[in-house]
Amino acid sequence: MTGTKHTGEGLDARRRKLLFRSWHRGMREMDLILGTYADASISSLTTAEIEQYEALLEVADTELLPVLTGERPVPMNQNTEIINKIIASRQSIQY
């Protein structure tokens, strides 16, 4: 997987698929945001968070990127625990 630091070893098939999809979005910025988050968190997500993350991965990059970068507010239909965790994880990164 491009950029990933997580081998996927020890993950169930569902989590491995999410890890792969996180690093292969089609837009490099989204690969870095979601891939980095997945590397750090995929093994500890609850079933509910996994379901939220799966739904989030269905959102187009052009709609999701401005939300994750803070350019647009989180839409009500996407305001879930998982998106708030991803946004919080981005804010803690030192560039």
51: CATH:
1.10.150.250
Instruction: Give residue 1's pLDDT.
Output: 43
Residue numbers of the domain that contains 76: 13-91
CA 53, CA 77: separation in Å to the nearest integer?
Answer: 13
> Domain count of the chain?
1
Would 38 be classed as within a structural domain?
yes
Instruction: Give residue 11's pLDDT.
Output: 87
Instruction: Give residue 91's pLDDT.
Output: 77
Query: Within a 10 A sphere around the Cβ of 18, how many other Cβ atoms?
Result: 20
47 vs 2, higher pLDDT: 47
CA 91, CA 86: separation in Å to the nearest integer?
Answer: 9
Which residues are CB-neighbours of 26 under 8 A, at least 6 positions away? 61
Give yes or no for residue 64 having a pLDDT over 60. Answer: yes
Position 35, amino acid: G
Nearest to 74 by CA among 88, 95, 92: 88
Instruction: Give residue 3's pLDDT.
Output: 59
Would 45 be classed as within a structural domain?
yes
**What is the mean pLDDT of the segment spanning 64-91?**
93
Distance of CA 93 to the CA centre of its chain: 15
